[in-house]
Amino acid sequence: MKNEEFRSIVSVFPCQVQWGDCDPAGIIFYPTYFRWIDAASWALFDSVGYGPKWMRAQHTAMPLVSAECQFLFPAEHGDRCEVRSRITRFGGKSFVVEHDIVRADGAALAKGKETRVWGRHVNGPGTPLRGEAISEELKARFRAK
């Protein structure tokens, strides 16, 4: 399954464009999409029991090593949106999360993609992080039924 897309559950992260999310033209300022994408990844992991508190307790982390976003259509102040996130690939120690950002009326606003590494802090939080093999148990939690 090395080059095949992983069949993942899809997590939906609701969001709304606030005044502070906009540029002077009144449309969404691009960093907002990256903030939503990051929050949506954490929500995806939390939905299967791997939330931030669990990760800290287990000394695990999922640092970001690559992020990209394709901007398709501008959102405006007040727009209700959602980020639909899924894992599209698991490697040995890394994985790819893809995101579709859509407005409530179904308009596609952006597509995001992150590559993250699964790792463990050597001697607890704040100590060096080492990549760790992604277990079959972790993959199973994300596999679409």
For 84-131, write each residue's pLDDT tens digit: 999 999 999 999 999 999 999 999 999 999 999 999 998 888 899 999
Q: Are 12 and 84 in contact (CB under 8 A)?
A: yes
pLDDT of residue 30: 94
User: Do the domain assignments include residue 16?
Assistant: yes
Report if residue 99 sits inside a domain.
Answer: yes
Assess if residue 115 is contained within a domain.
Answer: yes
CATH number, position 30 = 3.10.129.10
Domain extent, residue 59, equals 11-142
Q: pLDDT tens for residues 2-52?
A: 567 899 999 999 999 999 999 999 999 999 999 999 999 999 999 999 999
Look at the chain and report how many structural domains it folds into: 1
Domain-located, residue 2: no
Q: Which residues pair with 90 in a beta bridge?
A: 95
Residue 1 lies in a domain: no
Q: Tokens for 109, please give them.
A: 């606003």
Domain annotation covers residue 59: yes
